[in-house]
Structure 1
Amino acid sequence: MEETAVAYTAEHQRMVVNALRAVLPERAVLFDAEDTRPYECDGLSAFAQLPMVVVLPDSEEQVVAVLKICNALKVRIVPRGAGTGLSGGALPIADGVVLSTARMSRIVNVDPYARTAVVQPGVRNLAISEAAAPHGLYYAPDPSSQIACSIGGNVAENSGGVHCLKYGLTVHNVMRVRMVTIEGDVVELGSNALDAPGLDLLAVFVGSEGMLGVVTEVTVRLIPKPRQARVILASFDDVVKGGNAVAGVIAAGIIPAGLEMMDKTSSRMVEPFVKAGYDIDAEAILLCESDGIPEEVDEEIARMTAVLEQSGATAIAVSRDEAERLRFWSGRKNAFPAAGRISPDYYCIDGTIPRRALADVLLGIQNMEQKYGLRCANVFHAGDGNLHPLILFDANQEGEFHRAEAFGAEILEMCVEFGGSITGEHGVGLEKINQMCVQFSREEMDAFLGVKAAFDPPMLLNPTKAIPTLQRCAEYGRMHVKRGALKFADLPRF
């Protein structure tokens, strides 16, 4: 998306910059184009917009001061973590301020007895586990970007990862959040205990995409590093068999530490890149991990192997040591960068479906490849039905990105048809805002807006994201005809 016309005057920008420099060091307030350019987009780089100002506070007190100033001046704010998000949630607003928490990167405390870590929002996901490692502990959520993504961004998007089936998403591993409201009030949600009094506002806040407040401190739960972990690499000559195998493992009462699925396109994409040992002739492969004490792992591996064999696996390999386990996982972890080896560009989708629909959705995506004339590599957090199709395209070819967008929209709407959701861990942001009109009724979205208004009455925090307006849904409804039915036909035409 090309940058829109600048929606502010030089005088207005100067006024905002001067007000912010009264409470921040000069180096923490950026406004020249060459300085703000690195903040023009997040991981969804097809959409870019230069912000009016970028601020880089390094303390909670500075965050409070920034929010009070922006509230007083009625300046809109986009909170930003490490910028690894994939849904445009950190896309700037032309006349707004980007508030980056990257400099708030201190690990405040690691408590091995309480098994908690207190960290600032700019701390990298992986850095938490590195700090906890000497105590035999780690932080479980492990998104593919964990080497770079920050815990503040993880809280905003409710991030997951390949081990979220057993260990949960961010919301299941965060105990307490300190945040600042648009008025500059510091609020603590949750607690260091097992429960907190009153409404569970922590669960509301996690995954709110920067629309309710700005995170300044997070207390996360740490868990003991398993004594042993082994992974099964299973090949299938048919995607339906692979999908049914996933359902079979869960139906057998097994909750693996990780249960991932990749199709032939993705296997052939990553194997030359990392040499993980994948069967590049298989239509689908599964990675099924077990962790715990050795006896528990041995029993679970045997049970999963039996299910996979009964489901029609053509080949099964079990990691013999830690090096081989990491090698098996390396292909899945490097699926996104490997896409660059076979395509100039890719568009990553994130949706969730019931496990029973895995095979049907894969077949549906294959049909869409023919319809849109684009390839798609599929990698799934199959155990919890979270899919990540990578639509491959060339932005230099006229019209290809728009076809990729339409392809992605149809995948998301297929997820809704099968009883799923348009997102699992990437958030809605700007990317999926039209599909919100498909999944939710106007009454439901009004309820979402009511929650936002309770936290952010002037609607200044990350506006235009996640929750579509009535007019947007009406416009999308007029364009969105399926099976002869017009979405939102009862809405007035503009």
Structure 2
Amino acid sequence: MEASLAISSRQQDLVRALRQQLPAHCILYDEEDTRPYECDGLAAYRQLPMVVTLPENESQVISIINICREKQVAIVPRGAGTGLSGGAMPIADGLVLSTAKLNKIIKIDAYARTAVVQPGVRNLAISEAVSAHGLYYAPDPSSQIACTIGGNVAENSGGVHCLKYGLTVHNVMAVRAITMEGEVIELGGGALDAPGLDLLAVFIGSEGMLGVVTEVTVKLIPKPQTARVIMASFDDVVKGGNAVASVIAAGIIPAGLEMMDKTSSRMVEPFVQAGYDTDAEAILLCESDGTIEEVEEEIARMSAVLEQAGATALAVSNSEAERLRFWSGRKNAFPAAGRISPDYYCMDGTIPRKHMAQVLIGITAMEEKYGLRCANVFHAGDGNLHPLILFDANKEGEFHRAEEFGAEILELCVKVGGTITGEHGVGIEKINSMCVQFSSEEITAFLDLKRAFDPDALLNPDKAIPTLHRCAEYGRMHVKRGSLKFPDLPRF
């Protein structure tokens, strides 16, 4: 009761201060209004925030930050809430700063091939706005119809075409942001390089822990003259995994190279009628784009490599409509999981391509170990895995088993030389898994960087960087070969 009253008093004090700087409609604090902000796309973890703000301009963002700094209130920046790692999950006595109303496209420069946008602009809206100039924005997460560029910057999002065109970090030229000190900083610039330390690369992917984005300059690229995609079927997932490595080894960099196993294909096909081979143990989607001549040549080369790698069937799109239909299944893999399972837990790890078959075999063994099914969807070209662990939260213990299943997948990724995330971020979902990958010295360096930007740890605290004590606790829970990951840390 005392804690509840304290939060209520703190909430009232914060709301009074915010009302002096923001219009009333930009401040939410009643439970029915804040409930939609209790989680992001990782709905298994929820927490009602104390207050939600929806600033409409940069000066209001600065005011919110200054008020929160003075009152020592933690801030969780939030984009569209499509993130899958809990990076935007609120803090009970904290404030959610939503950038949803900062949704203007400020400037399009077709000659320089750049666009300056506010963080609340949807990913797909950028391409739609510049389409008349024959340009588009390359990173294309599956949620691109809804996710915003600010959230993409926070998570360093990718998409099905990231193999050829890169992640957010490769397509953002500059970021304007507000630090927890209320200072406006500009990182990067209009040229290919900027003087001083490359803090832009540090900021992109920092999950809202270093500053609040208010403006982003993105790079635009010309739309290719044409694009075609091959759907290759395999009677064995190991052959499919090896085929991915064979394509890259042949010196081919497809515009997109994705893999789905039979479970994924069978859950997607009734949902979107993409034309998938549901009898195949695995299918690859291999896209080529460029001039008509370039595409014809590359499609022929990829077809030859895939056949040699053991493909049992090849289907090549013959129209733009068919190409989009092939991709629609991959883009809708996550929502389609709801057709065959009450719940799913989407993992995100990255491995060297040469170990793809090994990891697939490992995941199959884990299905038996945990008694849960797993549908595998991969950005296969760059080794980014998205296993969908299927479970029923209404059955006691199933979500806990799904969490342990996911953690073991990430441990396997690290074991073969990969990482615990590719594009979904760490958030709260993978914070323990950081202890598997990084040493105490590395985590100390991460914390030092965080303090340089945010000395009081008020921006998205307790996300992405685990404390050393937490890693010691996790090490005791997961003892490897009789030794702890961090033997030098206090054991309490």
Q: State the shift of 1:467 in Å.
A: 0.5
Tell me if structure 2 keeps the 8 A contact 1:8–1:95. no
Tell me if structure 2 keeps the 8 A contact 1:227–1:294. yes
TM-score by length of 2: 0.98
Cα–Cα, structure 1 residues 230 and 395, in superposed 2: closer, same or farther, change >3 Å?
same
* Residue from 470, 480, 486 that aligns with 2:484: 486
1:64-75 to structure 2, matched below 5 A, reads 64-75=62-73
Query: Structure 1 residue 19 and structure 2 residue 34: aligned?
Result: no
1:148-163 to structure 2, matched below 5 A, reads 148-163=146-161
Tell me if structure 1 keeps the 8 A contact 2:187–2:200. yes
Counterpart of 2:248 in structure 1 is 250
Q: State the shift of 1:110 in Å.
A: 1.1
Counterpart of 1:241 in structure 2 is 239
Query: Structure 1 residue 308 and structure 2 residue 299: aligned?
Result: no
Query: Structure 1 residue 267 and structure 2 residue 273: aligned?
Result: no
Counterpart of 2:292 in structure 1 is 294
Q: State the shift of 1:222 in Å.
A: 0.5
Query: Structure 1 residue 30 and structure 2 residue 25: aligned?
Result: no
Counterpart of 1:103 in structure 2 is 101
Counterpart of 1:400 in structure 2 is 398
Q: State the shift of 1:488 in Å.
A: 2.5
What amino acid sits opposite 2:136 in the alignment?
Y
What amino acid sits opposite 1:351 in the alignment?
G
Q: Deviations over 1:353-412 (max 9, x none)?
A: 000011110110000000000000000000000000000000011110000000000000
Q: Deviations over 1:447-472 (max 9, x none)?
A: 01111111111110000000001221
- 2-side partners of 1:211 and 1:6: how far apart? 27
- 2-side partners of 1:400 and 1:173: how far apart? 40
Where 1:9 maps in the other structure, the secondary structure is: helix
Tell me if structure 1 keeps the 8 A contact 2:7–2:93. no
- 1-side partners of 2:460 and 2:5: how far apart? 16
Q: Deviations over 1:334-369 (max 9, x none)?
A: 100100000000000000000001111011000000
- 2-side partners of 1:489 and 1:270: how far apart? 46
What amino acid sits opposite 2:130 in the alignment?
A
Q: State the shift of 1:276 in Å.
A: 1.1
Cα–Cα, structure 1 residues 324 and 425, in superposed 2: closer, same or farther, change >3 Å?
same
Tell me if structure 1 keeps the 8 A contact 2:443–2:468. no
Q: State the shift of 1:172 in Å.
A: 0.3
Q: State the shift of 1:9 in Å.
A: 2.8
- 2-side partners of 1:253 and 1:22: how far apart? 60
Counterpart of 1:449 in structure 2 is 447
Tell me if structure 2 keeps the 8 A contact 1:165–1:256. yes
Tell me if structure 1 keeps the 8 A contact 2:178–2:212. yes
Q: State the shift of 1:492 in Å.
A: 2.5
1:348-427 to structure 2, matched below 5 A, reads 348-427=346-425
Q: Aligned pair count?
A: 490
TM-score by length of 1: 0.98
Where 1:113 maps in the other structure, the secondary structure is: coil
What amino acid sits opposite 2:9 in the alignment?
E
- 2-side partners of 1:8 and 1:423: how far apart? 38
- 1-side partners of 2:69 and 2:423: how far apart? 30
Tell me if structure 1 keeps the 8 A contact 2:469–2:490. no
Where 1:287 maps in the other structure, the secondary structure is: strand
Where 1:364 maps in the other structure, the secondary structure is: helix
Where 1:198 maps in the other structure, the secondary structure is: coil
Tell me if structure 1 keeps the 8 A contact 2:260–2:376. yes
1:38-437 to structure 2, matched below 5 A, reads 38-437=36-435
- 2-side partners of 1:326 and 1:12: how far apart? 51
Tell me if structure 1 keeps the 8 A contact 2:54–2:100. yes
Tell me if structure 1 keeps the 8 A contact 2:469–2:489. no
Q: Deviations over 1:196-252 (max 9, x none)?
A: 111110000000000000000000000001000000000001111111110000001
Tell me if structure 2 keeps the 8 A contact 1:350–1:388. yes
- 1-side partners of 2:487 and 2:347: how far apart? 28
- 2-side partners of 1:222 and 1:487: how far apart? 44
- 1-side partners of 2:134 and 2:30: how far apart? 46
- 2-side partners of 1:296 and 1:343: how far apart? 42
Q: State the shift of 1:278 in Å.
A: 1.1
Give the unaligned 5+ runs of structure 1: none
Tell me if structure 1 keeps the 8 A contact 2:440–2:486. no
Where 1:482 maps in the other structure, the secondary structure is: coil
Q: State the shift of 1:483 in Å.
A: 4.2
Q: Deviations over 1:47-94 (max 9, x none)?
A: 000011101101011001110111111111000000000000000000
- 2-side partners of 1:152 and 1:423: how far apart? 19
Where 2:86 maps in the other structure, the secondary structure is: coil
- 2-side partners of 1:142 and 1:7: how far apart? 45
Q: Deviations over 1:422-474 (max 9, x none)?
A: 00000000000000001000110110111111111111000000000122111
Point out the more displaced range, 297-306 or 475-484.
475-484
- 4+ runs of 1 displaced by more than 2 Å? 5-9, 481-492
Tell me if structure 2 keeps the 8 A contact 1:54–1:98. yes
- 2-side partners of 1:327 and 1:459: how far apart? 46
Q: State the shift of 1:138 in Å.
A: 0.4
Point out the more displaced range, 153-162 or 453-462.
453-462
- 2-side partners of 1:349 and 1:484: how far apart? 28
Tell me if structure 1 keeps the 8 A contact 2:128–2:136. yes
What amino acid sits opposite 2:215 in the alignment?
E
Where 2:360 maps in the other structure, the secondary structure is: helix
- 2-side partners of 1:6 and 1:476: how far apart? 31
What amino acid sits opposite 1:322 in the alignment?
E
- 1-side partners of 2:4 and 2:402: how far apart? 28
What amino acid sits opposite 1:117 in the alignment?
A
- 1-side partners of 2:237 and 2:6: how far apart? 53
Q: Deviations over 1:316-348 (max 9, x none)?
A: 011111111111111101100100000000000
- 1-side partners of 2:486 and 2:309: how far apart? 42
Identity fraction in percent = 79
Cα–Cα, structure 1 residues 295 and 99, in superposed 2: closer, same or farther, change >3 Å?
same
Tell me if structure 2 keeps the 8 A contact 1:89–1:427. yes
Q: Deviations over 1:245-296 (max 9, x none)?
A: 1000000110000000001110111011111111111111000000000000
Q: State the shift of 1:491 in Å.
A: 2.7
The CA RMSD over aligned residues, in Å, is: 1.0
- 2-side partners of 1:36 and 1:458: how far apart? 25
